[in-house]
Amino acid sequence: MIGFVLRRIGVSVLILIAASFVMFNLVAISTDPLEDLRQSSLPNKQQLIQARIQLAHLDVPAPVRWAMWLGGVAKCLIPFANQCDLGVSFHGAPVTQLLPTAMGSTVQMVTASLVLAILFGLMTGILSAIRENSGFDSSFTVISLFLFSLPSFLAAAMLKSFVAIGYNNFLQDPVIPIWVSLVIGVVMGVIVQAVVGGDARRRLIAFGINFVITSGLLIYMSASGWFLTPAIGPVALPIISIAMAVGLVALLAGLHQRRALLTGGIVAVIGIITYFSIQGLLDRATPLLIVVLAVVAIVVGLAVGYFVGGDDRKQNMRIGAILAFLISLLILIDRFMQSFPGYMYDTNGRPVATVGSGTPGYDPNNMWRSGLDVFFHLVLPTLSLLAISFAQYTRYSRAGMIEVMGQDYVRTARAKGMPERVVVVRHAFRNVLIPITTLVATDLGALLGGAIITEYIFAIPGMGQLFQMSLGPGDIYPVMGYFLVIAVMAITFNFLADLSYAALDPRVRVR
């Protein structure tokens, strides 16, 4: 394994060097970095031209400038030397100072959209495969194909017009008519009964329960003013925590596993008690404290699963850790929602932003309101990028699951009398992840490419905007900084994908 890793690192470095040489020279040949100054009517035009030539070493041939730039990149590998040199822009700003600021928004958008696309795409694709040729399958096939063919700029424009402006207007008088609540309840009921499947009686029960719950919640939220003062609350959070415990145990172990149920119940009770006991602490929370609390929650979940033990201790530990993380995330979401009225006041009642990655000069000295500001600025760009990837994961996971469910080992597992849950989760799902792993590595490049257009439409000062504003005038060093970050991320994700194959497929062995 060590030899494989070292070989891959060596090959990756050679690929990175060769690609940087091609990129540097293409930009140098295809652009004129002095064009804007030559067309200028300023009296000191010649002095400005000479200053730019000296600043960017434009009097040196492009291959030699690339070698000089590569030497500066090599200094970045020296630990604690603080000598990293990626060049300077035409405005005299070091690229090492431009990149961290630009990377923040882009990494947040791409990471969130990638994770959400994988989660929702896998769930939808697997459900479509299990309910093959059903109404649910046909509906999401049409939706995924529509999203796949939707250009990113059009998705961004539609989100700005219909979601941001529409929701901000709705918050001025957040009342949902009863007939709209009933229609939404009917739609959700139809979707859920299609997912549940079974005979007509089972579908009708699923439709009725979901219709009542969805319509009732919407009517209650509208009548109580929940949209202006949202919160999960001390009543709903325990109910949701217990429901998540039951659902997670049913998915991973089965409700007949008493020790798994005991693990889920204990972790849920600990999470509910924690919710009521740390509210005062969360008022003074910092990002570091949140991370520490999340780690502690996962450790507690692992400990509960370990001490409950049983025939499958690892499974109980897995259930405890996942459930502890989900309940922690639920508590975190509730705390952010409690801060929404204050943020609503700070934004004059229009919280969903359409431009920028944050409100200029906004510093509420409150982690929760600052987090809401980042969320409402990046939620629409993230959804825009999500539309690019969601369809791919849905179609790949659906096709992979249909193929796997027809394999001999799946039929053998069913013939042994294993529950369908075990067949899908333990036998089929793991093999579906193998092609998805490759897709994740390649999809990263598509997301980063889409980020250029998305950041332009939403006026986000990220990596895409840095690349676009630098490439036009031929400002080569910021362009190479963008290339370096993107290339390293792509190579790293492909490397991790190769390592993941051995963990997912026992037949793959690295010698």
Helix (H, G, I), strand (E, B) or coil at 67: helix
Cα distance between residue 398 and residue 404, in whole Å: 10
Give the pLDDT score at 491.
82
Backbone angles phi, psi at 94, to 5 degrees: -60, 140
Q: Which residues contact 51 (CB under 8 A, 6 or more apart)?
A: none
Q: Which residues contact 308 (CB under 8 A, 6 or more apart)?
A: 259, 262, 263, 266, 316, 320
Single-letter amino acid code for the residue at 23 = M
Give the pLDDT score at 1.
65
Angle at Cα 394 formed by Cα 389 and Cα 398, nearest 5°? 150
Cα distance between residue 401 and residue 430, in whole Å: 10
Helix (H, G, I), strand (E, B) or coil at 240: helix
pLDDT in tens, the chain (511 residues): 677 778 878 888 888 889 889 998 898 888 888 887 887 777 787 888 888 888 888 888 888 989 988 888 888 877 766 778 888 888 888 888 888 888 888 888 888 888 888 888 888 888 888 887 777 788 888 888 888 787 777 888 888 888 888 888 888 888 889 999 999 999 988 888 877 777 788 888 888 999 999 999 999 988 888 988 898 888 889 999 999 999 888 888 878 888 889 999 999 999 999 999 988 888 888 888 899 999 999 999 999 999 987 778 888 999 999 999 999 999 999 999 999 998 888 888 888 888 887 787 777 778 888 889 888 988 888 888 887 788 888 888 888 888 888 888 888 888 888 777 778 877 788 788 887 887 887 777 777 766 788 888 888 888 888 888 888 888 888 888 888 888 888 888 777 777 777 666 666 655 5
Strand partners, 94: 88
The answer to whether 465 and 136 have CB atoms below 8 angstroms apart is: no
The answer to whether 197 and 131 have CB atoms below 8 angstroms apart is: yes
Query: Hunting for tokens 């009933």 — which residue is that?
Result: 182
DSSP string, 170-229: HTTS----HHHHHHHHHHHHHHHHHHH-SSHHHHHHHHHHHHHHHHHHHHHHHHHTTTTS
Query: Hunting for tokens 């470095």 — which residue is that?
Result: 13
Give the pLDDT score at 450.
67
Give the pLDDT score at 81.
64
Backbone angles phi, psi at 151, to 5 degrees: -65, 145
Give the pLDDT score at 495.
79
Give the pLDDT score at 80.
66
